[in-house]
Amino acid sequence: MRHTLPLAPQFYVTAPQPCPYLEGRMERKLFTALQGEHATRLNDALSKQGFRRSQNVLYRPSCAECSACLSARIRVADFTPSRSQRRTERRNAHLQRKAVSPWASEEQYALFRAYLDSRHADGGMADMDIFEYAAMIEETPIRSRVIEYTSPAPDGGEDELVAVCLTDVLDDGLSMVYSFYDPQRRRQSLGTYVILDHVRLAREAGLPYVYLGYWVPGSPKMGYKAGFSALEVYHKGAWRDIGDPAAYSAETHPLSTDPIAEQVARISLPDIRPTEN
């Protein structure tokens, strides 16, 4: 007799390091490897529980005295763009979108470097070389796409790459793993446009959510996510409408997070049914 067996990955915790979102704090992450034939199912299941993918690792924040980072997603069916977001769509209506396999290019890396140097020169990715960039794009055990946005050349020459997003296709939505854009085109609000276009893509594909990564109250870098309607955050073990963003606190407290063992025990894992011969 054969039984359904749970998939039981091993979970680990990173050593504390400076938080990239809130000054003066230390972060640590709970993580597990994403590999093997069941990688897609594990990614789908853990993404619904606040985890994010980075190459072949799934992680979520698990800081000792801080629980400010909240995974955020847009409910596609209920999303309505604001007036300024509609202007952003019109401003970028000339851009052309192309979805390609997760394969890095020198053109992408040049744009990536310009973006980092302008927006995140002191961040943890600032020293990434082209080989590390290629690993970020190409090392994926699940269904991923690179969404490129180009601006047509006015003289009929080669189109200019202006924005890129590494996107995972989940069973319930699109996960925007990492996006970057031309920092010289500030007036175009390309970051906002890429999100709006992913909402459009998800709607066309019949997928209910667009996962945006972490929203962090009190962090200027992450505050923009609260500007999208129909936004949900994963808070206290459940997805809920964000409500009033000002109601969330980034204050630290020694009891704000549960012990690691309790966190791991509450993670819901997919069941794996052995293949019949």
Query: Dihedral of CA 137/138/139/143: which sign?
Result: positive
**Over the stretch 57-83, which tens digit does the pLDDT of each residue have?**
999 999 988 989 999 999 999 999 999
CA–CA separation, 69 and 20 (whole Å): 11
What single-letter DSSP state applies at residue 14?
Answer: P
Q: Is residue 206 part of a domain?
A: yes
Q: Is residue 207 part of a domain?
A: yes
Mean pLDDT of 218-226: 86
Query: Containing domain of residue 42, as a range?
Result: 5-272
pLDDT for 172 equals: 97
Alpha carbon distances (Å) from 146 to 108, 118, 130, 197, 253: 10, 22, 16, 13, 39
Higher pLDDT, 248 or 3: 248
**Over the stretch 123-147, which tens digit does the pLDDT of each residue have?**
667 788 999 999 999 999 999 999 9
Q: What CATH number is associated with residue 186?
A: 3.40.630.30
Q: Is residue 106 part of a domain?
A: yes
Global pTM value:
0.92
| Number of structural domains found in the chain | 1
CA–CA separation, 182 and 180 (whole Å): 7
Q: Is residue 277 part of a domain?
A: no
Mean pLDDT of 184-188: 93
Mean pLDDT of 25-35: 94
Q: Where does the pLDDT of residue 5 fall: very low under 50, low under 70, confident under 90, or very high at 90 and above?
A: very low
CA–CA separation, 117 and 120 (whole Å): 6
Residue with tokens 């925007």: 176
CA–CA separation, 262 and 258 (whole Å): 6
Closest CA to 116 of 69, 166, 182: 182
Q: Which region among 38-52, 98-112, 172-186, 211-225 has the lowest average model confidence (pLDDT)?
A: 211-225
